Structure 1
Amino acid sequence: MERRSFIQRAGIAGVLAAGAAPAIVHAQANIRWRLASSFPKSLDTIYGAAEVMAKKVGEMTGGKFQISVHAAGELMPAFGVLDGASNATVEMAHTAPYYFFGKDPTYALDCAIPFGLNSRQMSAWMFEGNGLKLTREFYAASGIVNFPMGNTGAQMGGWFRKEIKSLADMKGLKMRIGGFGGKVLERIGAVPQNIPGGEIYQALEKGTIDAAEWVGPYDDLKLGFNKVAPNYYYPGWWEGGPQLSLYVNKKAYDGLSAEYKAIIEAASAYAHVEMQARYDARNPAALKTLVGQGTKLFRFPKDVMEGSFKAAMEVYTELNQSNPAWKKIYEDYAAFRRDANLWFRFTEAGFDDFMQSQKL
């Protein structure tokens, strides 16, 4: 035993002399973290992204870094996860940042804003533009390190108990809508309600609200919205590419080895891609099922789209004048959006428009 201990001490001493010990020692340590999600377990796509990430971290560390994932309400409310990660109640959270626009509208720029970037453009801005750099500067005050972790792709416009035939029909309409879109709906006369996903059905069934949006056919079918509101509108102009985020408490993150930090980065990127792949693969069949069950599909009237766009631009102008944090990030975001849409106009849009008009 004494000889073995000596050899072990000598080996560690040699590593220390080489200046590599902290990373190796930390990388070999067993770590147990908790992640609080803003979503219920029943939504296997959006909640599942956190499980995918946690599983990958475990696999890449040989089981030494374990992350337990907890659904909304288990450790804290759905909208309590930002504070939970910030104050180290949990080490991680998975959420839609625009849920916290009430604290500061700037949070929405890490997720989606009305008439913003689509999912590919959002990933491009985050990973190759200035998006990740700018949002991390913003999150620093909250003691959080953020990672993009999932995107639903362009969403549907939601479920309505009555048909919407013009902009006038939006006035006084009580609608569940997440995040920043509610500020724009207010401008066109609607009454936004910020309700967690697990509580939407009951509110819609009881008539507490007149309409609700969530994500798209796959999740909406699971939640049964078509049973209480048969009119399904598109597109979800308030979230053309909503990005989900992984929040990591900064002190906990700083305590990790470089290897474990890289593993979190890689695992969250894997989950980021897989979430949208799941939605894109599962939404078509779900939409067919919904239509087969009597769902009526409608495109938002032109005046609803134009009135909402005008209102959104007014809100952004006002925020640029009143909120320095918003202005700093939005100016970069808007410039990226302008160039990205110019490019997509000639490529993606042209190709998609042709292909979706064909009978294949």
Structure 2
Amino acid sequence: MVTAVTLGFGSGGTVVSTAQAAEVEGPKVKWLLSTWGKRRGIMEGMESFSEQIAEATDGNFEVSLQYGGVLSDPKENLDGLKIGAFEAAMFCPLYHPSKTPAITGLDLPFLPITDLETRAKVHEAYLHNPVVLEELARWNAYPLMSALMPNYEVMGKGEAPQSIEDWEGLRLSAGGGIGDLMKSIGAIPTAVPAPEMYQSLERGVINGAAFPYTYAFAAYKLHELADWRTEKSSLGSLTCVLVASKQAYEALPPQYQELIDRVKPGAYKHQIDTYTAIDEKNEKLFEEEGLKKVRFSEEDVEQIMDKAVQPSWDAWVAARNAEGLDGQALLDEILALAKEANTN
């Protein structure tokens, strides 16, 4: 069953903010949100969320983003919520799939989610699926919003692959489902830490890397070495979720809970706009470097679907069934939500 959640997307596919400028009266509340790294694209939605909340309440409700892993190791953020160490956190199911197996369906390759607006709609609805809510509740967690990540693409050095056969033997830094996907077409996936990516590509240790497009490639300057990059390949994306302590959320006065729902569309819009501006700048860089664009043909896509995608989907369904979940129902909902989002 498709879970209906209104996000406030306009007819043109852009997220429309519904947050009001009027002050929301209420008590003093401060949440600490545990995350890692520095401020970056993936956190822009939550930065906007925090700013809107503070502005609407005149600073009475504060969501303080704690970067650098100062509150918890990234892999232990759900554990921290469970014991009440902080009030909110970001986590990525890929880091510990067994903790939130239902959410890992959003990481499957070749889902029909081609842009960030569609991803926001699908994630926002699926995160409120009763199965997902129950899964999160076991960790004392309640979904605030998705930390949107763009689709992954591959950027590489050397001769650009023109067909499925040309991927044979290419050494690519690609993990998770994307790594499995690339392996199915003959590539050799390997795990290279992001800070070592440039040197590995320069020395020929790898032929290419799968990264969120475009910002991650530019951030690590891989475009300076690369000769080609894939385009609109729908490899998939990494899901990361911003959650609140269920106990802390339920303790909020009703007007603050309502405010959270009101500011989310504007937060998603800010994040998407940030990515769009970054992409425009980076695309110019890639053009200036003369990077060739590589697209999978329809025949290639059919082969990939048969050889890798459908088997990976089937394996995911079987794994969830073995855990006592209805894997097919969960996958069907994701696909139905994507279809609905793509037609609206």
In structure 1, which of residues 40, 65, 71 is the aligned counterpart of residue 67 of structure 2?
Answer: 71
Which structure has greater helix proportion? 1
Counterpart in 2 of 1:12? none
Instruction: Tell me, yes or no, if structure 1 residue 334 matches structure 2 residue 332.
Output: yes
8 Å CA contact 2:102, 2:131 repeated in 1: no
In structure 2, which of residues 222, 227, 232 is the aligned counterpart of residue 230 of structure 1?
Answer: 227
In structure 2, which of residues 89, 92, 107 is the aligned counterpart of residue 93 of structure 1?
Answer: 89
SS of residue paired to 2:162: coil
CA RMSD in angstroms, aligned pairs only: 3.6
Q: Which amino acid aligns with 2:314?
A: T
Question: d(CA) in 2 for partners of 1:198 and 1:326?
Answer: 39
Counterpart in 2 of 1:309? 305
Counterpart in 2 of 1:34? 33
Counterpart in 1 of 2:266? 270
In structure 2, which of residues 95, 102, 105 is the aligned counterpart of residue 106 of structure 1?
Answer: 102
Question: d(CA) in 2 for partners of 1:50 and 1:342?
Answer: 25
Question: d(CA) in 2 for partners of 1:239 and 1:55?
Answer: 30
SS of residue paired to 1:305: helix
Any gaps of 5 or more consecutive residues in structure 2?
1-24
Q: Which amino acid aligns with 1:298?
A: V
Counterpart in 2 of 1:166? 163
Give CA-to-partner distance per residue, 1:141-173, whole Å, 9 cap, x none: 2322123334345x3512122332333444454
1:94, distance to aligned residue in structure 2 (A): 2.8
Instruction: Tell me, yes or no, if structure 1 residue 257 matches structure 2 residue 257.
Output: no
> Cα gap change, 1:289/1:146 in structure 2, threshold over 3 Å: closer, same or farther?
same
8 Å CA contact 1:149, 1:268 repeated in 2: no
> 1:167-182 to 2 correspondence within 5 Å?
167-177=164-174, 179-182=176-179
1:291, distance to aligned residue in structure 2 (A): 1.1
> Cα gap change, 1:112/1:270 in structure 2, threshold over 3 Å: closer, same or farther?
farther
Q: Would you say how many aligned residue pairs link Structure 1 and Structure 2?
A: 315
> Cα gap change, 1:296/1:199 in structure 2, threshold over 3 Å: closer, same or farther?
same
1:33, distance to aligned residue in structure 2 (A): 1.6
8 Å CA contact 1:174, 1:211 repeated in 2: yes
> Cα gap change, 1:185/1:276 in structure 2, threshold over 3 Å: closer, same or farther?
same
Larger radius of gyration: 1
Give the TM-score normalised by structure 2.
Answer: 0.74
Counterpart in 2 of 1:23? none
8 Å CA contact 1:100, 1:107 repeated in 2: no
Question: d(CA) in 2 for partners of 1:227 and 1:99?
Answer: 30
Give CA-to-partner distance per residue, 1:314-341, whole Å, 9 cap, x none: 1222332332269535524425625854
In structure 2, which of residues 137, 144, 148 is the aligned counterpart of residue 151 of structure 1?
Answer: 148
1:189, distance to aligned residue in structure 2 (A): 4.1
Question: d(CA) in 2 for partners of 1:157 and 1:225?
Answer: 13
Give CA-to-partner distance per residue, 1:177-228, whole Å, 9 cap, x none: 3543233334344444466655644554455543222222344323311123
Any gaps of 5 or more consecutive residues in structure 1?
1-25, 349-360
Q: Which amino acid aligns with 1:251?
A: Q
1:62, distance to aligned residue in structure 2 (A): 1.6
Identity %: 20
Question: d(CA) in 2 for partners of 1:338 and 1:231?
Answer: 34
Give CA-to-partner distance per residue, 1:46-101, whole Å, 9 cap, x none: 23222222222222222122222233544445554444444444322234444544
In structure 2, which of residues 195, 212, 215 is the aligned counterpart of residue 215 of structure 1?
Answer: 212
In structure 2, which of residues 45, 52, 59 is the aligned counterpart of residue 56 of structure 1?
Answer: 52
Give the TM-score normalised by structure 1.
Answer: 0.71
Report which stretch shifted further, 230-239 or 82-91: 82-91
> Cα gap change, 1:314/1:287 in structure 2, threshold over 3 Å: closer, same or farther?
same
Counterpart in 2 of 1:279? 275
Q: Which amino acid aligns with 1:274?
A: H
> Cα gap change, 1:247/1:32 in structure 2, threshold over 3 Å: closer, same or farther?
closer
Report which stretch shifted further, 311-320 or 251-260: 251-260
> Cα gap change, 1:276/1:314 in structure 2, threshold over 3 Å: closer, same or farther?
same
8 Å CA contact 2:152, 2:235 repeated in 1: no
> Cα gap change, 1:222/1:336 in structure 2, threshold over 3 Å: closer, same or farther?
closer
